[in-house]
Amino acid sequence: MKALHVILFAAVLGNAGDYDFDLDAIEVKPYTLSGYLKGENKLQGLNEDSPLFHTKNKESMKSYGSEGDVKFAYFQDAIKLDSEVMVNYNDVDGEYSDAYTIAQLFVQYKFDQNNLIEVGKKAPKWGKGYFVNPIAFFDRKKDPNDPDASREGYVMANYRYNKSYDGDVRNVSLDLIVMQSNDHMNSDFSQEEQNHVGFKAYFLAYDTDIDLIYYHRSEQSDKIGLDFSKNVQANIEVHGEFAKTLGADDYAYLVGLKYLTEFELSITSEYFYQKNQSSKSEPFYDHQYFMNKFSQKEPFDWLYGSLYYKNIYNLEDKSMQNSFGATYSFKNNMLLDISYNMNDGQIGSEYGSKLVQDTLWTKLYWYF
């Protein structure tokens, strides 16, 4: 045992010092409110070999940024209003910009414990992969620098049926998504003005999460997808995704695993392949990548701290991005994250062409 500890379970309200309960925290309210404020600073060395170097023509630059994210939900009987708003202010090398985004705003109505409908702007977040999700047909792409970050949704209607059972199939959930893209709504989702219908069937069968997906588009080819996730041992999880465009030689898949060692080193490894390249402006545009994240909780008995290393390797052009970082959680709901990030590769390769060669990135979060 690396620390002497006492775990106390106090299930009864009392007035005994440590065993006091904050009554305000346990009072049932008709709403929830949470979020964070983030301040960040980047010191960046620029890549002379980048085709974008002429836009800066200097060795380095500094950036400052701040971000606010507020989540608010209100409950009234069978109705819930859910929202998320993001505000960003950025100063990138002296160029100022700001953005106000309603990431999510939808109403949920529960007909009964098995049936509900949600209408509004939301992100379904389909898929089991950590770095990338080939089957996330109704989501924006993840930011490879922060795959866990919130993403802006699209306007849609989502009906869900959910039922639990005893036996080898413990749960079945069916989702139906209906969405439209045109000049006035979801204009950045699809270049075609069309209707989109997605159907997802989820099963918890034999201790395995399984999703089967069918995606219909009125002006383009339909797509199918499937994913799975399972603990093969208590400390090893495996997952995978497969997506294919029907009637075309176009498919993508991902396989990965998560492994937790006895000394709490967490390893996430994934391999991603896609038959056809996507747009170079998108993350993971090339054919195949190997991605890894190593995270060590409280190394050398450094309480509430962690060290991490991330690597994204383009197997086609042998270029890569490496990140070395550390986080520390303060007691007053603050989190500090400092990392050093490097892009490496030959001239013309994906990471070798990036304008930024390396970054010292400092982020400070305050949660409320």
Partner 1 sequence: MKKIILFLLTTLALFGAESILEQVDKKLSPSSADSYKKLINIEPDGSKKEFLLYQIKKGKDKIVSLFLQPDSEKGRSTLRLDENMWLYLPDVGKPIRITSMQSVVGGVFNNSDIMQLDFSAEYDIKSQTDEGATIVLDLKAKNDTVAYDKLLMEVDKKTVTPTATL
Chain residues binding partner 1 by CB under 8 A are 1-11, 18-19, 21-22, 25-26, 32, 34, 69, 71, 123, 125, 128, 148-150, 170-171, 204, 207, 209, 229-231, 233-237, 239, 258, 260, 264, 266, 297-298, 303-304, 329, 331, 333-335, 367-368
**Closer residue to partner 1 in complex, CB, 31/275:** 31
Question: How many beta carbons lie within 10 A of that of residue 147, not counting itself?
Answer: 18
DSSP-based three-state secondary structure for 189 = coil
For partner 1, give the closer residue by CB, 72 or 285.
72
Shortest approach of partner 1 to residue 364 CB, angstroms? 13
Which of residues 6 and 15 has its CB atom nearest to partner 1 in the complex?
6
Q: Which is nearer to partner 1, 237 or 241 (CB)?
A: 237
**Close Cβ partners of 143 (under 8 Å, ≥ 6 residues apart):** 149, 283
**Biggest alpha carbon–alpha carbon distance for the chain:** 69
CA distances from 279 to 97, 126, 182, 212 (A): 25, 21, 21, 26
Non-local CB neighbours of 16 within 8 Å, separated by 6+ positions = none
**Contact between 340 and 325 (Cβ < 8 Å):** yes
The residue written with tokens 């008709």 in the block is: 30
Instruction: State the nearest-atom distance from the C-beta of 265 to partner 1, in Å.
Output: 11
> In a 10 Å sphere around its CB, with 0-12 CB exposed, 13-18 middle and 19+ buried, how is residue 243 labelled?
buried
- Per the listing, tokens 């500890």 go with 5
β-pair partners for 255:
240, 271
| Residue closer to partner 1 (CB basis): 76 or 303 | 303
Q: Which of 62/170 has CB closer to partner 1?
A: 170
Closer to partner 1 by Cβ: residue 131 or 351: 131
Sign of the alpha-carbon torsion through 314, 320, 326, 327: negative
Q: Which is nearer to partner 1, 25 or 247 (CB)?
A: 25
- Compare residues 12 and 96 and give the one whose CB is closer to partner 1: 12
Distance CA 127, CA 205 (A): 17
Check if the beta carbon of residue 218 is closer than 8 Å to that of residue 207. no
135: how many CB neighbours lie within 10 A of its CB? 27
Question: Nearer Cβ to partner 1, position 17 or 94?
Answer: 17
**How much is the CA Rg of the chain, to the nearest whole Å?**
23
Residue type at 315 in one-letter notation:
L
Residue 30 · residue 75 · CB < 8 Å: yes
Cα–Cα distance list, 43 to 49, 62, 199, 358 (Å)? 19, 5, 45, 8
Closest CB 298 distance from partner 1, rounded Å: 8
How far apart (Å, rounded) are the C-alpha atoms in residues 110 and 107? Answer: 10
Tell the smallest beta-carbon distance from residue 315 to partner 1 (Å): 26
What are the residues whose beta carbons fall under 8 Å from the beta carbon of 95, sequence distance 6 or more?
A: none
